[in-house]
């Protein structure tokens, strides 16, 4: 087996171990979160051991793929998103050894699993770097930015657990509706993975000829039915679904199509869950977090931002601007990815200001952590998939 095959096998092994560890942490949630390992039961200990094995396997995937490709494997959406998922697991491991909170693993690992599964929906072939990416700054900038986002992701997970635990699900309020909206978007990602996997198994392919933003003829292949088509597109594959509308040249129709399918699938799956259980998704999760300390969750969320914010700033802004100056002879150009990196920076700066100066603790802090991760995911999904820019190669 070549290095590329070994790396794929290691990634699949990591996915399996993370899934196994999730169930093991589920067996440990009867205990309250502790600051030391004295009261951690055997399920929690097994959970972190299996998580470490999975993390080691994913590290093996990362470095074997690096060796196979000849460059840091963060050059496309598949590689970046799998690395992002790995950074969430790495951040969880770090936080776990500080706080020994098993319930964090019960939520952090599924988030990482969803992100890694989401990555698998994109082409995973190893391909040469385009000229703009042929720089050592690729590894420096992208890996540091993803590490910062992964650590900030733990603040989202702690915040989400806090809200699930403390928001009263017996009555319908604005809080329950907003929390349920967060659950809906998580369900939508799961639905997207299921839909894409189904069409992949059916070997669905539809090819279009269209006019790109340079007014040149081009071709594009869709692996799920086209709800929206490319600019002035013509369907070349017989027997496949005609798009309902054509998109302007500045919008990537193929990527927008994945977003639309996610939302449609999310609505269907969410309605099924509600009809079958007759409960909100957050209400279904509430029994799992009953014993965890709210103060501990608040501290974990805050500490995660304290660590993740400077790491993200270093990678997504400072290193990015240095590379932009080298590659494009300007350190800032208001590209969509640059703008959303700045928005993310300003949001978490406001988070720390409100926390330290205005005393926004507890529920307010938890909501901010959830919104902040929403901004990160918007950058990952919508900006990468829909909005064209200099970073469209990602």
* Phi/psi at 227 (5° precision): -75, -35
Contact in structure between 143 and 315 (CB atoms under 8 Å): yes
Q: How confident is the model at residue 38 (pLDDT cuts 50, 70, 90)?
A: very low
- Rounded to two decimals, what is the model's pTM? 0.84
Rounded to the nearest integer, the mean pLDDT of the chain is 85
User: Distance between CA atoms of 87 and 250, rounded to whole angstroms?
Assistant: 32
Q: Does the pLDDT at position 360 exceed 70?
A: yes
Residue 1 is predicted with a pLDDT of 64
Q: How do 228-229 and 206-211 pair as beta strands?
A: unpaired
Q: Does the pLDDT at position 69 exceed 70?
A: yes
More confident of the two residues 344 and 335: 344
Which residues share a beta bridge with 228? 245
The alpha carbon of residue 64 and the mean position of all alpha carbons in its chain are separated, in whole angstroms, by 23
Give, for 104, the enclosing helix (H) or strand (E). Answer: helix 102-119
Residue for token pair 């290691």: 10
Residue for token pair 């086209």: 226
Neighbours of 275 (CB within 10 A): 8
The helix, strand and coil proportions of the chain, stated in percent and rounded to the nearest 5, come to 70, 5, 25
Residue 97: partners with Cβ closer than 8 Å, 6 or more residues away = 48
More confident of the two residues 141 and 1: 141
Closest CA to 26 of 300, 289, 279: 289
SS3 242: coil
Neighbours of 148 (CB within 10 A): 27
Residue 37 is predicted with a pLDDT of 42
Closest CA to 326 of 73, 131, 72: 131
Give, for 235, the enclosing helix (H) or strand (E). Answer: strand 234-235
Residue 394 is predicted with a pLDDT of 46
- What average pLDDT does the segment 185-189 reach? 86
For 243-268, the pLDDT digits (tens) are 888 888 777 787 788 778 888 999 99
Q: Does the pLDDT at position 391 exceed 90?
A: no
Q: How confident is the model at residue 35 (pLDDT cuts 50, 70, 90)?
A: very low
């Amino acid at each position: 087996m070549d290095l590329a095959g070994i790396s794929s096998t290691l990634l699949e092994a990591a996915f399996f171990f993370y899934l196994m560890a999730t169930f093991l942490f589920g067996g440990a949630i009867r205990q309250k979160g502790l600051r030391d390992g004295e009261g951690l039961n055997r399920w929690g200990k097994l959970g972190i051991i299996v998580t470490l094995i999975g993390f080691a396997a994913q590290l093996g995937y990362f470095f074997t793929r690096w060796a196979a490709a000849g460059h840091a494997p963060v050059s496309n959406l598949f590689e970046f998103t799998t690395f992002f998922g790995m950074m969430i697991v790495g951040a969880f491991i770090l936080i776990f050894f500080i706080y020994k909170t098993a319930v964090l693993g019960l939520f952090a690992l599924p988030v990482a699993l969803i992100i890694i599964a989401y990555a698998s929906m994109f082409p995973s072939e190893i391909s040469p770097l385009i000229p703009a990416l042929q720089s050592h700054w690729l590894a420096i900038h992208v890996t540091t930015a993803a590490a910062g986002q992964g650590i900030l992701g733990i603040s989202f997970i702690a915040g989400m657990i806090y809200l699930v635990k403390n928001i009263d699900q017996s009555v319908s309020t604005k809080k329950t509706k907003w929390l349920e909206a967060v659950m809906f978007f998580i369900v939508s990602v799961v639905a997207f993975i299921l839909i894409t996997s189904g069409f992949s198994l059916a070997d669905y392919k539809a090819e279009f000829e269209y006019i790109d933003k340079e007014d040149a003829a081009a071709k594009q292949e869709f692996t799920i039915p086209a709800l929206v088509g490319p600019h002035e597109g013509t369907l070349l594959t017989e027997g496949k679904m005609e798009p309902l509308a054509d998109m302007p040249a500045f919008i990537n129709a193929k990527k927008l199509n994945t977003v639309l399918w996610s939302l449609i699938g999310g609505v269907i799956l969410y309605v099924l869950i509600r009809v079958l259980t007759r409960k909100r998704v957050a209400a279904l999760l509430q029994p799992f977090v009953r014993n965890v300390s709210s103060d501990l969750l608040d501290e974990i969320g805050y500490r995660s931002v304290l660590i993740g914010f400077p790491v993200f700033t270093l990678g997504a802004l400072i290193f990015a601007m240095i590379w932009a100056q080298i590659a494009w002879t300007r350190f800032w150009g208001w590209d969509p990815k640059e703008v959303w990196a700045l928005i993310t920076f300003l949001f978490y700066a406001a988070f720390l200001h409100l926390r330290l100066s205005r005393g926004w603790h507890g529920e307010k802090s938890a909501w901010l952590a959830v919104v902040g991760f929403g901004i990160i995911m918007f950058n990952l999904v919508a900006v990468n998939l829909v909005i064209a820019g200099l970073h469209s190669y990602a």
